[in-house]
Amino acid sequence: MSHPAPEFEIVPGSPLTVLTEEEDLFRETVASFANEQVRPLVAEMDRDQKINADLVKQCFELGLMGIEIPEEYGGSGGSFFMACLAVEELSRVDPSVGVIVDVQNTLVANAFLNFATDEQKKTYLPRLATEWVGAYALSEAASGSDAFALTTRAEDAGDHWVLNGRKMWITNALEASVFIVFATVDPGAGYKGITAFIVEKDFPGFSVGKKEHKLGIRASSTCELLLDSCEVPKTNVLGEIGKGYKIAMMTLNEGRIGIGAQMVGLSRGSLDCGVAYTRERIQFGKPISSFQGVQFQIARCAADVESARLLVYNAARLRDARKPFLTEAAIAKLLSSEVAERVSSQVVEFYGGYGYTSDYPAEKFFRDSKIGKIYEGTSNMQLSTIAKQVIGDS
């Protein structure tokens, strides 16, 4: 049920940062949109903890909410790599906007593209490409890293399913019209009982609960979901009964590359601001950028950002080429999130006392960076994945 891979040959030793003409034009388009339309709203959205509705509409109009969705369904017909480019360029200006586009593309749309029936694709992909924000609902209060300890139940009611439970920390929940919800049809079966369901926001028994007050990416909504005898049509099972774990693992592996792209964009945006300020900040009669100690700190940050970027691009290229990418995705997510936290922290120091205030963007990038080590698999979970692949079964 997977969609065709784009034609892109990976040549051993080729520079992964080299973009095709189409990719470069796309990147420039997204970068211009981020600079001209997103940047003026960043401080306001962070303060109000809400994404600007017109901005979301513009993302749809630009085709950023359905990058991989084929043109026959109203999408852009692009590649996974292009989705990562979009997330990176948006996150360079505002990681909150970056993650909204990321979840839409790398989790929700990909789940439909790879596991939906033809009828489900006809029903939902055109909406996801043009008007409907999607959300991905796996986590619960007692099942974070142990994602399959979930307690949300799905019971067969004859002509429909009935879902009961509570989901936590769901990105895009406030804006979403459709949710991929994971529930178990048989708690005794462990992960083999987990099933994915397509739930629309107006289904009986479904509601969006508390919106979280967060440290960072504040414009991106994070809410709980309440399922109180929620009625879901039989036709809205995504994939097969009991195969939800497969959908979750596959989409999260792809989603981690998207989060890597978000962290790379954040690192770039933070460093750009920091370098500009070192040219302006005068100490001892000269800009601090002229001091070797500061130059070496900038150089270290630049090396870290480029290293993370290569890891993310490599994982995205492998995914598009339909080659194994599990380890590469985990490494990219692990290291890019570490780089984002390290670089944004250093940039706060470039600003001195101003870096600790909201008058400048340094503190926001620093706040936004922390989530990179947490969502879509904590750093410890990435280390576990990498270790298993390196050591093997022993």
**In this predicted model, what pLDDT tens digit does every residue of 147-173 receive, in sequence order?**
778 999 999 999 999 999 999 999 999
Q: Does the structure show a pLDDT above 60 at 103?
A: yes
3-state secondary structure (DSSP) of residue 228: strand
Structure tokens given for 394 = 């022993």
Q: Identify whether 376 is a catalytic site residue.
A: yes
Which of the four pLDDT bands, split at 50, 70 and 90, describes residue 374?
Answer: very high
**In this predicted model, what pLDDT tens digit does every residue of 292-343 receive, in sequence order?**
999 999 999 999 999 999 999 999 999 999 999 999 999 999 999 999 999 9
Which of the four pLDDT bands, split at 50, 70 and 90, describes residue 121?
Answer: very high
Domain boundaries, the chain: 21-133, 136-242, 246-391
Provide, rounded to the nearest whole percent, the portion of the chain with pLDDT above 70. Answer: 95
Which of the four pLDDT bands, split at 50, 70 and 90, describes residue 146?
Answer: confident
Residue 249: which of 295, 173, 196 has the closest Cα? 196
**In this predicted model, what pLDDT tens digit does every residue of 176-193 receive, in sequence order?**
999 999 999 998 898 899
| Bridge partner residues of 137 (DSSP) | 181
Q: How many CA atoms lie within 13 Å of 287's alpha carbon, on the beta-carbon side?
A: 10
User: Residue range 23-30: average pLDDT?
Assistant: 96
Position with higher pLDDT, 15 vs 209: 209
At residue 18, the pLDDT reads 79
Calculate the CA 394 to chain-centre distance: 33
Structure tokens given for 105 = 């593309």
Global pTM reads 0.94
Into which CATH architecture does domain 21-133 fall?
Orthogonal Bundle (1.10)
At residue 143, the pLDDT reads 80
At residue 8, the pLDDT reads 41
Into which CATH architecture does domain 136-242 fall?
Beta Barrel (2.40)
Q: Are 357 and 237 in contact (CB under 8 A)?
A: no
Position with higher pLDDT, 8 vs 207: 207
Q: Does the structure show a pLDDT above 80 at 104?
A: yes
Q: Which residues contact 100 (CB under 8 A, 6 or more apart)?
A: 51, 56, 59, 133, 171, 172, 175, 220
Alpha carbon distance 270, 105 (integer Å)? 24
User: Residue range 97-107: average pLDDT?
Assistant: 98
- From the candidates 175, 224, 328, 376, give the one annotated as an active-site residue: 376
Element (DSSP H or E) covering residue 196: strand 194-200
Single-letter amino acid, residue 285: G
3-state secondary structure (DSSP) of residue 393: coil
In DSSP notation, 292-357 reads HHHHHHHHHHHHHHHHHHHHHHHHHHHHHTT---HHHHHHHHHHHHHHHHHHHHHHHHHTGGGGGS
Domains 136-242 and 246-391 share a fold: no
Q: Are 123 and 162 in contact (CB under 8 A)?
A: no
What is the phi-psi region of residue 202: left when phi exceeds 0, alpha when psi lies from -120 to 50, beta otherwise?
alpha
Q: Are 101 and 95 in contact (CB under 8 A)?
A: no
Q: Are 266 and 344 in contact (CB under 8 A)?
A: yes
Residue 271: which of 304, 239, 248 has the closest Cα? 304
| Bridge partner residues of 162 (DSSP) | 155, 231
In DSSP notation, 123-151 reads HHHHHHHHT-EEEEE--BTTBSSSGGG--
At residue 5, the pLDDT reads 42
Element (DSSP H or E) covering residue 170: strand 160-171
β-pair type (194-200, 237-238): antiparallel
Q: Which fold has domain 246-391?
A: Butyryl-CoA Dehydrogenase, subunit A; domain 3 (1.20.140)
